[in-house]
Structure 1
Amino acid sequence: MSEAAPLVALRDVSFAYEDGPAVLTGLDFEVREGRALALLGRNGSGKTTLMRLLSGGLRPRAGELTVDGGTVSYDRKGLTRLRTTVQLVVQDPDDQLFAASVAQDVSFGPLNLGLADSEVRARVAQALAALDIAALADRPTHLLSYGQRKRTAIAGAVAMRPRVLILDEPTAGLDPDGQERLLATLDGLRASGTTVVMATHDVDLALRWADDAALLTPSGVRTGPAPENLARTHLLREAGLRLPWGVAAAELLRGQGLLAGAAPGPRTAEELATLVATQPGQAG
């Protein structure tokens, strides 16, 4: 049986900004449905450009963008179809929020689709509930905290009911509690069928959260299962990233005979504590 086409893909894509050098050349990149994907790379590696190409904000100079195996056209019809499939939430929510209140901002996208008022209201209510900000519906956006603004920006994308939600550094600027609440929200969105792509510099977060990790390096993008890719020191070095602590801990545990060679290493501090506590001689 042949493998299903990726949900969204860039095929042999090249891009350069006007009067600038090439940012991406001959890039192949896939988003597989249902797989949480972390996108990592040093500043200037092309992460933001790649995300904007996936969402239709930029058009490749060469190559093509596909959805369900079909080439995206950049006319009104093609871009509308793309934006009901893929939504991008930028890093700074203040670059995305503009309406007077939370509900008005979240309703903007669905209204532009020409949906009936009843459908728009339903989508807004569901998106606010999914992001746990229903109580803020009438709150002026300029009175929101930073974390609340982040959630409002994501809710605006969720209201479009995309199949792929792309988030640029969604945990940046959040305190630990805010990060945990956001990750729980993303888990809920994934459980409801949304495929989530997260750009991040945080290798520990990527190891903990992602199914797959895509490392942007000068020699191209390298995508694979997160625990495997994030243990490849040469790739991490190329991408300007450090080794995740979970990978380093797993190597230490294996060296001490506390973790079998094929057994997965800890991806969170809680998993490490549980693993150590279950070792002979550690109880009591």
Structure 2
Amino acid sequence: MSEPALLALRGASFGYEDGPAVLDGLDFEVREGRALALLGRNGSGKTTLMRLLSGGLRPEGGQLTVRGEPVTYGRKGLTRLRTTVQAVVQDPDDQLFAASVAQDVSFGPLNLGLPDAEARLRVAEALAALDITALADRPTHLLSYGQRKRAAIAGAVAMRPRVLILDEPTAGLDPDGQERLLATLDRLRAGGTTVVMATHDVDLALRWADDAALLTPDGVRTGPAAALLARTDLLSRAGLRLPWGVAAARLLRARGLLPDTAPGPRTAEELAAVVPGLPLSP
């Protein structure tokens, strides 16, 4: 018998007041150690799904489970859930509120009732993990956008969650900021954190994720990212385009430059390795 999913929704339904159901009878799993990209058009239910997974919303039907155990929505049950799952919203200004970075990052651990020494240790670890130790005493309103993103994620990391859910974490970042954030997420994953990322960027999803979940009007389809993001029928129903890496792989195979069994390129560097001499920039 297989081990239960780290986090799962079973038969979950939810709709907002005076509106149609956003999700209806949804089955969804987050498997431990698998980087998961969540994709879909605006209004497809991504934000609602993330809030259900993190306990911000309670399903009207069905249930949320952690390792097969149903989540309860009293104070004790939600506290237990939030030590397992943390979500970071797209706009860091919706999440940062304390005077300094260290004070903001310390809010969650202190709210758990941890001793000051333990809270300080968690803050130091989270700041180091996000490479913002030097910003500990910086007022949050003086941070750059990328620094505010990192500070918001550090606040979640200080809770030491098993699952970290991020809503469009690379949105608004310049290319260098995106690369630094992805390197940070790789370090968190190496440390045992399972990361779920909602994104509109199919190229990023193909490059970064082990698995992808496409939200379509017919429900959600989940599977290995490389296979799922090559399904033009599903991408169309999800309002997404074909990733350039998939299109490049098809062209390379048609020209006999890439064996059928070889994985396609996900970055410019991987494309250049397949086609020697190909310039990486104009």
TM-score range, shorter chain: over 0.9
How far apart are the structure 1 equivalents of 2:168 and 2:174? 14
State whether structure 2 residue 162 is matched by structure 1 residue 163: yes
How far apart are the structure 2 equivalents of 1:171 and 1:264? 25
Root mean square deviation, CA, Å: 0.9
**1:38-72 Cα deviation digits (max 9, x unpaired):** 00000000000000000000000100000010000
How far apart are the structure 2 equivalents of 1:22 and 1:262? 42
Deviation, 1:267, is 0.9
The secondary structure found in structure 1 opposite 2:205 is helix
Which residue in 1 is equivalent to 2:181? 182
How far apart are the structure 2 equivalents of 1:174 and 1:157? 19
The 4+ residue runs of structure 1 with deviation greater than 4 A are: none
Query: What does 1:1-284 align with in structure 2 at a 5 Å threshold?
Result: 2-277=1-276
How far apart are the structure 2 equivalents of 1:256 and 1:202? 27
Identical aligned pairs, as a percentage?
Answer: 83
The secondary structure found in structure 2 opposite 1:98 is coil
What amino acid maps onto 2:181 in structure 1? L
How far apart are the structure 2 equivalents of 1:188 and 1:139? 24
How far apart are the structure 2 equivalents of 1:202 and 1:219? 21
What amino acid maps onto 1:16 in structure 2? G
**1:207-235 Cα deviation digits (max 9, x unpaired):** 00000000000001000000000000000
How far apart are the structure 2 equivalents of 1:124 and 1:222? 37
How far apart are the structure 1 equivalents of 2:138 and 2:233? 48
What amino acid maps onto 1:38 in structure 2? A
What amino acid maps onto 1:43 in structure 2? N
How far apart are the structure 2 equivalents of 1:45 and 1:32? 22
Deviation, 1:30, is 0.2
The secondary structure found in structure 2 opposite 1:277 is coil
What amino acid maps onto 1:90 in structure 2? V
TM-score (norm 1): 0.97
Deviation, 1:18, is 1.2
**1:11-36 Cα deviation digits (max 9, x unpaired):** 00000011111100010000000000
How far apart are the structure 2 equivalents of 1:266 and 1:3? 32
User: How many equivalent residue pairs?
Assistant: 278
What amino acid maps onto 2:275 in structure 1? V
TM-score (norm 2): 0.98
How far apart are the structure 1 equivalents of 2:258 and 2:173? 34
What amino acid maps onto 1:177 in structure 2? D
What amino acid maps onto 1:56 in structure 2? G
How far apart are the structure 1 equivalents of 2:115 and 2:17? 40
How far apart are the structure 2 equivalents of 1:13 and 1:234? 25
How far apart are the structure 2 equivalents of 1:3 and 1:175? 42
Gaps of at least 5 residues in structure 2 are none
The secondary structure found in structure 2 opposite 1:142 is helix
